[in-house]
Structure 1
Amino acid sequence: MPAAKPFTVKSIEAIKADASRKEIPDGGLQGLYLVVQPTGAKSWAVRYRHAGKPRKMTLGGFPAISLGDAREKARNALRMVSEGRDPATEQAEQETKRPAHMDLMPALLDEFVTRHVAVKNRPSYVRETKRIIERNLKPKWKQKLVKTVTKRDVLRLLDEIVDRGSPIMANRVRALLSKFFAWAMERDIVDASPVVSIKAPSEEKTRDRVLTDEEIRFLWLASEKLGYPFGPVVQLLLLTAQRRTEVSDAMWDEMELEGNNQLWVISADRAKNRKEHFVPLTASALEIIRALPKVKPAEDEDAKPIYLFTTTGKTPISGFSKAKTHLDAEMLALARKEAAERGENPESLSLEPWTYHDLRRTAASGMAGLSVPVHIVEAVLNHRSGSIKGVAAVYNRYDYAEEKRAALTAWAEKVAKLTGREKAAYGTEVAE
């Protein structure tokens, strides 16, 4: 059997799940294993022998615990074994003797993310969970013991979030707290959940917002003024019809930019439905991607750039709410400027609220309006809505590649025409 190769972050991220659980040894440190569940969740464990018997100690989930941290934890555990100690037993005893500060909400929420959220979910979901916790929970309950959180405390917190104009966020916080307290009950940290009888603060309706042709034009012009990184992100959201995190977290090694069939390959672990997805890249999309700067970590100029959209070279961008505020303001300014030029009252103009996800819906609606069949639109979106059934549902992953490319090309051409870029993007004159 060939020797195991040392792990790298890239090799870990590339490991795919099988039908059954598997443990993969790290060639860089004997005893350290990466555990991969059928769901795709990954975690670390260290195996050793104590008192003549095989033992195993769980270290935590990846990527919450990085490769470097996992090796350090494993080395510490193996050092204890060399001293005649059993690290798994000592870990269990330590957890039994939890210091009081570990039951403060901030510390316990961090533990919840490490031991539960990061093990069972995609990195984008983990980042969003951390963001919700840092913004909405830790500042409010930074000195509160978990066992003292009451139903009234939760209701007061949710009311405050609603009152500041974020009813949907209040729903998200309630859902997160429900999962958190269920996890805390399973670990015998609390006896009951204060969230169990609390309903979602706000009703969430299915959105059907689609940007008009004029709004698409304003959006594109505003995104050009916004610049890197959020301007190109918005443009690719509109042109590719993919999800926000799929675009914002896109990596350079997902891009196949050479040859005649340029593609963006979204791996199964990054796609929302866990299905690998191939997105044909149109001329407009390629133009945007090729113009992007390749940002590397400041301390490692020889490193290979990872993310298309990053300010650090290490992590994807954040700050979408602030970017959208600037985008909305620029769109409104453009609309009012044109209204004034027509002799209309600019102050009477306003823009209907929209979300980043509405750009995906706008693209889908736009392709349908160009007579693209619904099953092709669904293939572009990587949907599993059920319009394709039976044998067709299990076709090779490359099926509809040409149809998807034709659909996205037609949509990109329409966007180019709406934004006055048709000649530049496709070498054709704009119709008068």
Structure 2
Amino acid sequence: MGQHTLNRLSVTKVNALIERGYYADGGGLYFRVSAFSTRSWAFRYTRAGKAREMGLGAYPDVTLKEARERAAEARKQLREDIDPIDQRQEAKSAMIATRAAVLTFDQCATAYIAAHRSGWKNAKHADQWKNTISTYASPIIGAVSVDLVSTVTLLKILEPIWTTKTETASRLRGRIESMLDWATVRGYRKGDNPARWKGHLDKLLAAPSKVRKIEHHAALPYSDVGAFLAELRQQAGMGARALEFAILTVARSGEVRGATWAEVDINSAVWTIPAERMKAGREHRIPLSEAALELLRALPRIDGSDLLFPNTKGTELSDMTLTAVLRRMGRPVTAHGFRSSFRDWAGETTAYPREVIEHALAHQLKDKAEAAYARGSLFDKRRRLMADWAAYCSVVAVKGGTVVQLRGQHN
């Protein structure tokens, strides 16, 4: 390294240096100007008879003061018989190894499902795991390192749905517990499992079997929608038809009640709701299933009204009209609740991606890139999703294990 006077350069001099070459500051620190006029700092030394050079960063990102501090640290390492370049490489290798040993929660979920997929008898099991996790857990802890998942984060996921979607929440908790156990055995996390029930979450959450039944359910379980729709089709009146159309299209009540024939293209099987009638202020195109089209074809046209579902005066139905249908049928649910039934069905029993399901509900996606992708290329997938939903709604389980396939017949 030699004996050199330290701090030979100044900020003014460094700023003026533009010719290619090495300019000594002393103590092994050099200011380097390349043939391409890039400027940086270097520390030069001799180790075991071999000349070595270590970069200390580009100028002006690394200031003269910072470069001197880094050079001083390198000289200290040499005095302690540590090669600074070797030390840097070892630190880099250790960091890479540490990163390799870390998985995010979503990565853990993907790895767990891949490891167990072949052992699950039901081919849909993996999709059900993936969909419940991506729907309820990923938006909250998907990007969190799996070793940082805690009881607090678990409660953020479970508490909002524990009393409203108890079965789903309980199943989700068990799946997360299995995933975290797997991550612990694989060495991705340490300590107790924050998702375990006995002796832990059972002290914080009511037992699923003891959760108080809500007297007025906002939504039907999706398994009951087919039987409900069969009963609804026996109800007369525009209110019943509007409610059926809302269920088949998973549109909001106000969007259905204000729907006009001008918005519907029967030939293309598309209902286009203009931006001014949408909650988010954006035009929404809904692919119409054959069941929805059959309903529309059976509707009477009212002279002087362009509404799909006008009242006897030719004007828009009130929101209470759909509520009255539900009350007449003895169902303590809301029209809006069928959107939740659809969301649960799609998330728990199908393999459709989350963004397809959310876009079908006209929900605004938080991620801008995801939202742009959804607007641009998911319509065909949504058409298949709505056809599958209509098909699911037309099947009613019957005692004895058989099913009845319904047609869109109305009184």
**Shorter-chain TM-score tier:** 0.3 to 0.5
Q: TM-score, normalised by structure 2?
A: 0.42
Q: TM-score, normalised by structure 1?
A: 0.40
User: Higher relative CO (CA 8 A, sep ≥ 6), structure 1 or 2?
Assistant: 2
